[in-house]
């Protein structure tokens, strides 16, 4: 987990977590240290095969997140798998992790959403193994 920047007492991090066990571990650790801070996960699912085969595990892994921004899936060279549906996946995360999920259709929506909805003293964690690291760093110039 790498701290990228702080703005208005909100800390922005990047993490390579792209597997349910990693996601759960990061979020649980952050929640244990910062009990009263809101945690916002910006999640870029990585590989159709991984998400489809572990969808229930992924859906449970965001329990410690107060909000999930669900980005488009990063295929990493895989062909599109029509059994993956972002809306259904978002609903499953919301149901199994008991958290709010916002669907992100394109990456410019991340900055727009955060600009309008961040308050102060929150923690924003970008998670994934695709382009999310670059995008999290670009937020500094957008917010």
pTM recorded for the entire structure = 0.96
pLDDT, one tens digit per residue, over 31-63 is: 999 999 999 999 999 999 999 999 999 999 999
Whole-angstrom Cα distance, residue 80 to residue 64?
A: 30
Q: Edge to edge, what strands does the sheet with 39-43 contain?
A: 2-7, 10-15, 123-127, 39-43, 67-70, 100-103
| Domains, the chain | 2-142 (3.90.190.20)
- Degrees to nearest 5, angle at CA 73 with 60 and 30: 40
Rg of the chain over all Cα atoms, to the nearest angstrom? 14
3-state SS class at 109: helix
When pLDDT is cut at 50, 70 and 90, the band that residue 5 belongs to is very high
């Amino acid at each position: 987990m790498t701290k990228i920047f702080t703005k208005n007492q909100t800390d922005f991090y990047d993490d390579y977590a792209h597997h349910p066990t990693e996601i759960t571990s990061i979020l649980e650790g952050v929640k244990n240290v910062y009990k009263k801070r809101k945690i916002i996960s910006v999640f870029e699912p990585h590989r159709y095969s991984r998400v489809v085969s572990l969808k229930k595990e992924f859906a449970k892994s965001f329990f410690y997140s107060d909000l999930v921004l669900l980005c488009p899936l990063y295929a990493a060279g895989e062909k599109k798998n029509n059994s993956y549906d972002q809306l259904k996946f978002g609903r499953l995360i919301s149901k199994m992790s008991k958290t709010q999920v916002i669907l992100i259709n394109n990456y410019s929506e991340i900055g727009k959403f955060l600009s309008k909805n961040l308050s102060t003293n929150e923690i924003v964690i970008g998670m994934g193994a695709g382009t999310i690291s670059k995008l999290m760093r670009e937020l500094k110039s957008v917010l």
